Amino acid sequence: MQFPTSFTERMQRLLGSDYDQFVAALQQAPPTSVRLNPAKTSARPALPQVPWAKHGYYLSERPSFTLDPLLHAGTYYVQEASSMFLEQALKQVVNLEQPLHVLDLCGAPGGKSTHLASLISPDSLQVSNEVIRSRASILAENVAKWGSGNVLVTSNDPRDFGRLQDFFDVMVVDAPCSGEGMFRKDPQAINEWSEDNVNLCAQRQQRILMDVWGALKPGGILIYSTCTWNEQENEENIAWLAEQEQAESLKLTLQPEWGVVPTQLKGIEGYRFYPHRAQGEGFFMAVVRKAGEAEEAVSHGKKKKYKLTLAGKKEQTLVQDWLINPDEFTWIQHGDIISAIPANLFEAADRVFQSLYVIYAGTEIAEVKGKKLKPLQGLALSQHLNKGAFETAELDLEQALRYLRKEDISLGTSGNDWLLLQYKNIPLGWAKQVGNRMNNYFPKEWRIRMELPQELSSFEILNG
């Protein structure tokens, strides 16, 4: 690996005598890690754990994840281990028992969003945002697969968050960056790197931080991260923010065996991941608290005008048994789509709908087709699905992969109803029986595009 001179000089300055070890580590293959979805599996694989994340595990090699139906079912997410350090920031500085409004501003493809969703309480509202529309669809897909039901996926520019003044208790800004920490995983990143690009990234990050800062409540927590090492995009940006606005840098407790390197620069506590020290890719995180104390929102007693429309009584009656504890949800209808959002989050969700472009809300339950209702993929993958309301069928590995490729599969059954297809007892999606034919309702955009190999072997990630 050949690095640009200015990068080498800076890393030598940052790492001193560690530099050679750092370069040697960059020649090694990056570790592969996954994070399990505790709402979908209670498996405790016999694999080495990511020490800073309860449900994170390292794999000894990188399998062809596409060929594991359980990945498509949202049972786990393939995520780089350093990024899972988000869990420490949240657990150490936020009371996760209380209802929170949480924002993941730069959300796609969804690693931190799915992690956040596992950490917050069910009566919290999460907004997962991604400005680039095509990437926002992937974020929505991963959020739907995770199945939490208290997440709104939006696709807005950071400046649009100015409309949600003092709304969020916690914000995660996993900023677009120059990607030095990805050099090992993606050698192409080395060719795209330049000092000019570092400066451009740093300026863009400052703009992003300023754009969303007003949406953080006084006393709220901002977790900032990048996958790069230069100080401009990291400590210096946060020092700049703390100087412009009133923000206090927060210190996290580290275990020495994690290999995370704490830094202090201009009064900012930073946490750095280097490949020769910690088992993960390059990463930086800093946590700040906005000055002041949150005030209770005062209601002015005026009759509110809501943007959200409730689903009709008739439709609601037809779908409400499809979720466990239906009374805990409000059923809304947007066009032909009926979705469920936790009832206690209705007001907050409506505010988000008034202010931002929402592309996925809560749990998408059904599409109204004339007098009939078609169950949607969001329901199949929901943590709140009432399986008892549907006929189910278990697929073997080949059937499951053919279903995920959107091929027609035959189970030798007949009937005239919706069928919830499962693999290892975990729902994958819907099919409709029409006599002895079966129509595949797996979403076209989500389908597996790769050809299946001749020999299929079952994954054992969840068993170790």
Ligand X SMILES: C[S@@+](CC[C@H](N)C(=O)[O-])C[C@H]1O[C@@H](n2cnc3c(N)ncnc32)[C@H](O)[C@@H]1O
For ligand X, the binding residues (CB under 6 A) are: 83, 106-112, 130-132, 135, 158, 174, 176, 204, 208
**Of 425, 410, 413, 430, the residue nearest 41 (C-alpha):** 425
Given the complex with ligand X, which of 83 and 316 has the nearer CB atom? 83
Compute the distance between CA of residue 158 and CA of residue 155 in angstroms, rounded to an integer.
9
Residue 376 CB, shortest distance to ligand X, in Å, is 24
Q: Pairing between strand 216-226 and 125-129?
A: unpaired
Helical residues (DSSP H) of 56-165, grouped into ranges: 69-72, 86-93, 111-119, 133-146
Residue 176 CB, shortest distance to ligand X, in Å, is 4
Given the complex with ligand X, which of 224 and 442 has the nearer CB atom? 224
Given the complex with ligand X, which of 111 and 375 has the nearer CB atom? 111
Cβ–Cβ under 8 Å, residues 258 and 52: yes
What are the residues whose beta carbons fall under 8 Å from the beta carbon of 333, sequence distance 6 or more? Answer: 309, 310, 311, 312, 315, 339, 368
Residue 152 CB, shortest distance to ligand X, in Å, is 16
Given the complex with ligand X, which of 177 and 345 has the nearer CB atom? 177
Residue 458 CB, shortest distance to ligand X, in Å, is 27
Residue 424 CB, shortest distance to ligand X, in Å, is 26
Tell whether 166 is in a known binding site.
no
Peptide bond into 326 cis (omega under 30): no
Residue 140 CB, shortest distance to ligand X, in Å, is 13
Rg, Å, the chain Cα set: 23
> Active-site residue 227, yes or no?
yes
Compute the distance between CA of residue 302 and CA of residue 279 in angstroms, rounded to an integer.
55
The active-site residue, picked from 106, 177, 201, 227, is 227
Tell whether 157 is in a known binding site.
yes
Compute the distance between CA of residue 29 and CA of residue 279 in angstroms, rounded to an integer.
11
Given the complex with ligand X, which of 175 and 319 has the nearer CB atom? 175
What are the residues whose beta carbons fall under 8 Å from the beta carbon of 18, sequence distance 6 or more? Answer: 274, 276, 277
What are the residues whose beta carbons fall under 8 Å from the beta carbon of 208, sequence distance 6 or more? Answer: 105, 106, 158, 173, 175
Count how many residues are written for the chain. Answer: 464
Given the complex with ligand X, which of 285 and 448 has the nearer CB atom? 285
**Of 373, 356, 353, the residue nearest 311 (C-alpha):** 373
Given the complex with ligand X, which of 102 and 338 has the nearer CB atom? 102
**Cα 25-172-93 angle, rounded to 5 deg:** 90
Residue 116 CB, shortest distance to ligand X, in Å, is 10
Strands (E), 118-237: 125-129, 151-154, 168-174, 216-226
323 vs 162, 276, 338, 383, CA distance in Å? 35, 47, 13, 9
What are the residues whose beta carbons fall under 8 Å from the beta carbon of 262, sequence distance 6 or more? Answer: 254, 269, 270, 271, 272
Compute the distance between CA of residue 289 and CA of residue 331 in angstroms, rounded to an integer.
35
Instruction: Write out the catalytic residue numbers.
Output: 227
Write out the binding residues for S-adenosyl-L-methionine: 130, 157, 174
Write out the binding residues: 130, 157, 174
